[in-house]
Structure 1
Amino acid sequence: MARVLVLFMLLWSSGFLPGFQTEGKDIDEMRLLGGSSRCSGVLQVKRQGEWAEVDDREWDLKLADVVCRHLDCGSVVRASSKRDSNPSSRITPSCLESGSRLKKCLTKRSWIISTSLEIICSDSVRLENGTSLCSGRLEVKSTQSNQSWSSVCEDDFDLQDAEVVCRELGCGAPSVLQGVLYGDMEAPVWTKEFQCRGHESALLDCDSSDRNTCSSGKAVGLTCSESDNFQLARGSSRCAGGLEIKKEGKWSKVDVKDSAWNLKAADVVCRQLDCGSAFSTGWKEMDFNTEIWWISSICLQSKSAVRECISTKSYHSHSNLEINCSDSVRLVNGTSLCSGRLEVKSNQSTQSWSSVCEDDFDLEDAEVVCRELGCEAPSVLQGALYGDMEAPVWTKEFQCRGHESALLDCDSSDRNTCSSGKAVGLTCSDPDNFQLARGSSPCAGGLEIKKEGEWSKVDVDDHSAWNLKAADVVCRHLDCGSAVSTGWKEMDFNTEISMIRSTCLQSKSAVRECILTKSYTSSFNLEINCAEPDVRLSGGASTCVGIPEMKHQGQWRPVIEWDSEWVQKLSSAVCKRLDCGSAVSTNISSSSSETRVWEISHSCVQSERIVRECLSLTSYRTIPINLEVVCSDLLAQPNISFSTHIDGVSEATQQGLRVLMGSNFTISCSILPQYPGGSFQLIFNTSDPEQKNYTLPAVNHSAHFLFSAADPTHRGEYRCVYHLYVFSHNFSSQSRPLHLTLAASGTHLVIGLVVLVVLLVLVSGAALFCYSKASRGQTPRREDNMEVHYLCGADDLLGEEAGGAQGSE
């Protein structure tokens, strides 16, 4: 009884049974009736002493699996609607939602062919602790009286056994078979060794033999394929087209049952099909009477398998969900669909994904990848940005020209190793496909998104969930500062609009990932007024030092706080808001003239917020003092550059700047003229175990470090660090890295060639001399020519006779 209550309360509270909203105390028990065993049949629930069938709407495989496990019937194999012409009592979900008692919710359906939910469970096998219904640690239920579940030893299991289990669970072929993959072995342990041939319908139908111990001590971890049950059809490739699901041996089209479908949900399908990333999704019109299956986008975005999110009941629709995937490239571990570690799918039969070496990738290659993924131009290209390189590694070096439509269309050449050992980390700009229109500036107005080349107005799916925080995400994506206000503008009701999910946007997703794919009609257009920066430090030599000012009611005025404790908190909040590090010092000084200032409330400063709302309830006054704030990041970033002298030339490569061996070169450091003085430190990370540092005073805001006769010890990474003492504090700022590699010069190549020729002449001459001596039975004397004796190897040439003569000496 308690387990039934827990099960149904869990289902209702988690939203898996949207039609069932009632008191758990009314439930007595449940059962599967009319099947081949107690683990298959039509689902019935007993409440207040009466049995009633459950309405088959809103169910999917994932929810049906909970029923199987509660009934101790293993894992779900199939769940579907079953037609029944017999009149039956039915629980009406809408009635239960109102909280009515069971007897008022029971209806008779004798006038129509009704449908009920039929569930078939695996009964004797199940997978535990997996990431989907088709993965986990294998357990088998004993046929003995105790009916307990037992772990299966890895020693007793092979691929043919796995094929039977996957088939029995309604999954595709086994893809991974590895012990301890989903947890350690648990007692009791199965005492038989399976000997399946692969064609059996159930694991317990296989032959078996007794065994004594489990030598490995590992339980079977099994992953069966999910993609065998769904596909993208009628597209340009297997990775594009209409989504279809295999139901009862035939392929049927799929549509979305909720309004939450977006690019993120489509991306889950692409990745489960091993088709890279999603770059577009939409619908294709069909005849209205076409039978389709529904998929839950909310279920899918919880990282569930596709087949788990398909409804158990078929419907009729006039649209089929379409998805286009990138097929051969993908970005993994990124923060959006347009960022991550680059992986490429091999054209070989293995179809495996390979990491790409940073050495083999440049900006033109990145442009092709971003275009292929439906993103804009690359903004960041840096190795190891989204994780370390993983095996296997792509064995080609791409040589794109930038105009290709796909990365695998680019020319390529073989390479042997990845010298940097870093995988390509790529961030592409999100498509410039949304805007704020009809406002006073590009940062104010109604939100619009470009779909199929045309701009469409946008509304939100849930007005109650939309707030200033969600609007702020849009402002920042548009590089428009922070959100000041948000609301709606009324339109004609028949206006076609796109919908945006506010909850998706607040999870820091890209705007295009949160736009719902279907179009709707609405009388409202969402309006996301953004502001230019409303906080600044003015009057200083950089943006991170000066008098704090805020813009309010269209006017910039200094901000003041009287209490010394709050002054420091205000200074810290300003530095943090301006991305200037932390507050180093504050100074309150007299002003030569009275200035109108804004006062700021303690509550805002206490929470380290320094936003416009802090001033909305305060006043300003005239005051003859100034507050100056100094932030830790007040120095600009220094520049680092490289030059060679007349006797050497350099060139830029993917690995860095290349200088010829033996040439002279100079590393120059410079910085914007903010403050006089200071010094430059050149940090040199070389292959030598010690890091080398050089320091020169800053003259005219620059310093030049001269190196003569470049050799292998100069190969490495250089950085300029600018040091300055100002405002009674030491400050420093570091440049980007500069990588230096070396190449052999023409002179070195000529010398090397001459040396090689001389060596070849000497060796061939010595060999000829030794041969002539050996043919006449003569041995060169050591005291005459030790080198010739060594080259000739007289002992080897003359055998034992020479050895005996040497011994007699």
Structure 2
Amino acid sequence: MDLRALTLFVGLCSSVPSVSPAEVRLVGGPSPCSGRLEQQRQSDWKPVRDKNLDWNLKKADQVCRRISCGSVVSFRRTLDQEPPQDLVTRYDFRGRRVSPRFRVEITCSDSVRLENETHLCSGRLQVKRNQVWSSVCSDGFDQQDAEVVCRELGCGSPSGFEEELYGEAPEWIPEFRCGGHESALLHCERSDRDTCSPGTTVTLTCSDPGVRLVGGSGRCDGTLEERNWDEWSPVDYPDWKLWSASFVCRDLDCGSPLSIRRRETGSKSISGLRYGCLSVYRNYCFGAHQTSSGVIELTCSDSVRLENETDLCSGRLQVKRNQVWSSVCSDGFDQQDAEVVCRELGCGSPSGFKEELYGEAPEWIPEFRCGGHESALLHCERSDRDTCSPGTTVTLTCSDQVRLVGNRSTCAGELQMKVHGEWRPVVDWYWNQKWTSAVCSQLRCGSIVTTDLEDFGSKRPVWHFKSSCFQSAISLQDCLLLNNVIESSRSLQVICSDLLVQPNISVSSSRLEVQQQKVRVLLGSNFSIICSTRPQYPGGSFQLVFNSSSSTLNYVLPAVTHSAVFLFPAAEGLHRGTYTCIYHLNVFSHNFSSSSRPIYLIPSAPLMDLIIRLVVHLLVMVLLISVTCFYSRKYSVETRSRNEETNVVAELQ
């Protein structure tokens, strides 16, 4: 055993009373660097129990280094279903009885660590190669590489990295080329470099926000955990709101909160938790062992946010580029772009956007060219602009107060309103058609079709209205009763006229030419007009409406798999005109319809046919001219001959 290993070994034994001077290991996990902590006593392996509740991440990190597994990523206690025979009842500093029935579970990084004696999320970066830890050469190490390392170590986002000299320390020579999304540094692409300055290694510092999201689709989605007393623990608080969640999203550098939900998990012990303490004052929370029946699951936006201290759905638009939040240049930003942003943030429809000056704020220069249907702003097409006025950034406001949910259309469902970041169903016996029409209009869903109160059985918090408010209030929010928590099993169901999405119309033919809204098909060829719609509700029918200068025709077919195909065996001149698809559907005991954009169809001959016809025309004209000239000349000759004969006869007489 070398001197460094011996030093770590002695430190482990002196700081962790439950581990005797013997071998330790992690078992039951996906790798030798993850699982339950066990120690060897003579020839048997025994689980390590935290009798005094004094285990923390620092001690767990010593175990990781002892077994050559890098840095600690997470540590937790689990209930021991088989308590030891030497069970002794203890009392904590608050006078409560504590039983040592917790086993220790540790997850270490397998091949990456930050070498530092005092801080778990800062130090000289090292990777394990052939079971030897090597410092990483600083040449070529960038922000994306740092992002992957910090995430792999469970340490938040990188707050800085620099080049430092460590003499002749062994170095990892290949250059990492991470994209920033990889789960581990060794999953990144690598390239062999030609040179690496001797002894120049990376020193990296990661932020440690004290919270994290685990088990989701990425670092900005998952079950919320908080670090208390150097231990990661799930968070459970039934009345946690989106506004409180916004602090977590910002701490994780994840933009704005999109959704928050509480998932029942059954009664279990949670360590290091104080209900309702996750907010600005999180650093003043104290951990305690409690029993919980659920966990909080949070989803934050990954790459888009509206910068505002008081409103989640209004503010300066920013996107994340190369892990840096940049304000969006206002030049070229339009209504379709705003629609995508508001929908991505779960904030309804845009109610306004404007250009504002923010000095020399970093700006996102490419121009977004959204169609309005994209699910995320970064999914839109982009084009590089030539100029962007310095400091002119977009300030966007979304209408986030009203929505209809629980249906396949955003224009039908349970009416909900948001106040102070909280969505609740709306219930009131005094509701009238005037206010429902205002809801449909605000949501750009046409006019009101019907409203109804439905009973869902279980009670939940709802918004109630003041009965005397409807005649004088300026907006729906003015009528809400906000002082008391009112629970009800009922909710208001609203259906607006624009229930259906706009259908699509297209033309299919073997000889086809499309120019904007005009479609050219070959004369005499067969063609089809296809009507389709996005799946919302089953059934329905498509009406194809044809308008020309001389007639109007209608064709109707049932919708099969949300589409219908209208066949035309041969294109003729009489098919020239405007075509529109109208989708009809009876749902919720009402008839609804939605029209597509129109297209103009032109039956025409192919270019070669036109050329041949032109050539034939020219040949016929040349032939006619030649014949005319021939007969004209012949007539002139005959006339001249007659005249000469007449003159000769006259002279003889």
**TM-score bin, normalised by smaller chain:** 0.3 to 0.5
Relative to the length of structure 2, the TM-score reads: 0.37
Relative to the length of structure 1, the TM-score reads: 0.31
